Structure formats: structure tokens, C-alpha cells
Amino acid sequence: MSKDSISARGDLKLTRITKSYGDFNAVDDLTLTIPKGSFFALLGPSGCGKTTTLRMVAGLEEPTVGSIHLGDTDITTTRPYQRPINTVFQNYALFPHLTIFENIAFGLRRRGIKDVKEQVDKVLNLVELPHLAQRKPTQLSGGQQQRIALARAIVNRPALLLLDEPLGALDLKLRRQMQIELKWIQREVGLTFVHVTHDQEEAMTMADTIAVMNEGKIEQMGSPADLYDNPKTAFVANFLGQSNLIKGKIEGNDGDNLVVDLFGQKISMPKNRSHAVDNSMYAGIRPEKFRISLLGTSVRGNQLTGGRIEDVSYIGVSTQYVVAMPWGQEVMVFEQNDDGVPPFDKGDEVNISWEPNFTFGLRGDEDIEAGTEVNPEELEEE
């Protein structure tokens, strides 16, 4: 089995994986298929099990229960060096005693590949650092080390490339640039990338498919647009961007729409965007989907009246408002500054309105704070 495993190709399938440390399940009965050739992101806060999942795929940890298949080959217990999988480690883990050239050649030499020089040169050109071949890793900047770590992995043309918070140590500007570059390189080389991150923007920029993980389980999986527009849980709604979640009650049907009562005001929303299990529901609306209008103006779509502007922050491209609603909740509204109309002032009495199709419905028993907590450790990494 181990001899064949190195040439295994195909979709990565995790089947009912659990990883326990004592009583604690870092990964809890996780089933997941990552299609060949995709750019897949595992997104979640620290401690959600995403890194443990990645390490099990790499072979650095063994699942307590469950199996991992690459194509038709079972690699659950295959040693890391017998898997056609390479990793870009967090903080890169370059070999400090070897030159950049030898770092990249390491995997090729272990497999007895003939044209080492040619392949290393090619990948150094791909990451645009051919002039650094004879340097040592410590002589490189963080961004350069990041690219070399990537080059060292992709030169082996693995069936699967794992990226463990690969951009975490870079500053914001460099991170943005590398996000675009990574995406481009993935298309260029056509490998399956599995990317682990706690940075939702990073995941959304790069990945075709995102699996949002929380407490060892997948909360929701889908394209960035799916997850953002129609989150299934409060955790996803809050972890990917910001959400306004308003407590409501499903009153009845109106064709393909539900009629929902939000503190005495009726709104409608598409049935298929509701994840409620009974008639209690949280109606979710993203801040940029709201429109603000002065009291007495008539607008299309759903409308909630009785708001008062509590706070105004002018950001340039947009203005962010905090609007106090009559039932005591404060909602966030982002308005594009594209209409030449001066922003509303603090204290203005307003209505908020939105297109019914933008509404998503969460179960009424959700913890609406889930996914909003900021982990102090992650703040430090920023």
C-alpha cells in the first residue's frame, strides 16, 4: 500500500474523522471531500480543529477514528514521507543550514529525481526569486521566505498542497499581495490547495470553497458568496463579516415567501433562505444591504421604521451608521458614498429598508454572539 500511496491522485476524502486528546475532541466526526484541483479553505478561530485536520492529512497526526482517502488509496496511517502531499508550514520551517537552492531541492533529491537543477530553477522563476538561490534562509525577508516555502513544496508537484496559515507572519500589505499571487500560482500549477486560516478575508479572496469550522465540526461549507449571502448559523454569519440578527417569529406563507414578524413589523423573505426549524427565527441582514431613509419616505422592499441614528463614521468609500431600533437593538448599516447625498446626522429619525431576497433566516435558538468573540491570541498575530 505504501508504495502506491506516493503516486495516489484524486479527491481527498475525510470520512468520519475524530481526533481526541484525552477527553477533548479536537476534531469531531468530520466528513469532508475536497475535489481535485480546487482551492479549498478551512476557516475558523484558533482551537477549532482546522490545524489538527491539516496535520492529519499531512500524516503528522493520526486520527483516533475515521479514514482518509486520496482518490481510491487509503492513506489514514501512511507515513508523511510516503504521501504525495506537501505542506507550507506556518513560519515556513525552512532548513536554516541549507541554501535556498538546496531547500527547494530537498524533496526532489529524496525522491531521486534526475533534473534537480532544471526543476529548482523553474520554480524559483515562478516565485520570482531566482537571484536568491545561493542565500541562506535567514538572509531573506519574511515575504521571500514565504515564497521559498511555497516553492519548496510545489516543486514536488504533490497531489495536494497544504498551507498552514501561510501568510500569518506577513504584514497586511504583503499579505494582500501574496493572496493574489498564491491564487495565481494555484491556477498556474493546477494543484489542489488546502488552505488553513483564521482570516476570513484571506479565505474569501483565495478559495473556491470554504469550510467554516467551529469546535471540531464543519459549520457550513460552500463558495465564499454562498457562505456570505446565506449563512446557515449565527457562527458563520458573524465569523464571515458582520451581521445584524433580529429576533422574529414566522407568521405564515405568502407564495414562495415567509412572512416574519420582527417586533410588530412585518417583513417577507424567501422560504428557501430560512434555516429555522420552528416558527422562531433570527432574521439576518448584512449591514451593507440596508438602506436608510428619512421617516415618511416610501421605499421598496422590507422596511423597519422607528430608527434613530446613534453614531456616524465616515470611512471614505462608505459611511457606517449605528441605528437604534425601537425595541432597543442597535443595528449596523454601511452606505456607499456614491449618491452625492450628504450623510445622515446623529439623532435623525429614519427607516431602514432592504431587498427581501437579501434576508437569511437562522434558528430561533441560536446564540447570536457565536463567532463574534475576538481571541486575544489572534489579535497579537494580526
1 binds another protein (CB under 8 A): no
Specify the residue for cell string 437593538.
Answer: 329
Segment 153-182, which members bind another protein (CB under 8 A)? 153, 156
User: Cβ of residue 181: shortest distance to another protein, in angstroms?
Assistant: 21
87 binds another protein (CB under 8 A): yes
Query: Contacts with another protein: how many residues (CB under 8 A)?
Result: 26
- The answer to whether residues 40 and 34 touch, using CB atoms and an 8 Å cutoff, is yes
Segment 316-335, which members bind another protein (CB under 8 A)? none
Chosen residue from 3, 22, 23, 97 binding another protein by CB under 8 A: 97
- The answer to whether residues 146 and 166 touch, using CB atoms and an 8 Å cutoff, is yes
12 binds another protein (CB under 8 A): no
Going across the sheet that includes 65-70, the strands are: 24-34, 12-21, 65-70, 73-74
Chosen residue from 22, 96, 264, 316 binding another protein by CB under 8 A: 96
**CB closer to another protein out of 278 and 381:** 381
What DSSP letter does each residue of 121-182 carry, written as one string?
HHHHHHTT-GGGTTS-GGGS-HHHHHHHHHHHHHTT--SEEEEESTTTTS-HHHHHHHHHHH
**CB closer to another protein out of 60 and 65:** 60
79 binds another protein (CB under 8 A): yes
Bridge partners (DSSP) of residue 30 are 17
207 binds another protein (CB under 8 A): no
Chosen residue from 15, 91, 119, 280 binding another protein by CB under 8 A: 91
At position 280, the amino acid (one-letter code) is S
- The answer to whether residues 14 and 66 touch, using CB atoms and an 8 Å cutoff, is yes
User: Is 63 exposed, middle or buried (CB count within 10 Å of its CB: 0-12, 13-18, 19+)?
Assistant: buried
User: Cβ of residue 179: shortest distance to another protein, in angstroms?
Assistant: 23
Bridge partners (DSSP) of residue 294 are 350
95 binds another protein (CB under 8 A): yes
For strand 85-88 and strand 160-164, is the pairing parallel, antiparallel, or unpaired? parallel
User: Cβ of residue 249: shortest distance to another protein, in angstroms?
Assistant: 52
Q: How far apart are CA 99 and CA 132, in angstroms?
A: 9
Segment 275-304, which members bind another protein (CB under 8 A)? none
Phi and psi at residue 362, to the nearest 5°: -110, 160
HSE (side-chain half, CA atoms, 13 Å) at 129:
23
Chosen residue from 21, 24, 81, 327 binding another protein by CB under 8 A: 81
Segment 39-68, which members bind another protein (CB under 8 A)? 58-60
Binding mask 126-155 for another protein (x = CB under 8 A): ----------x-x-------------xx--
Chosen residue from 39, 106, 290, 360 binding another protein by CB under 8 A: 106
Q: Which residues bind another protein (CB under 8 A)?
A: 58-60, 79-81, 85-87, 89-91, 93-97, 106-107, 110-111, 136, 138, 152-153, 156
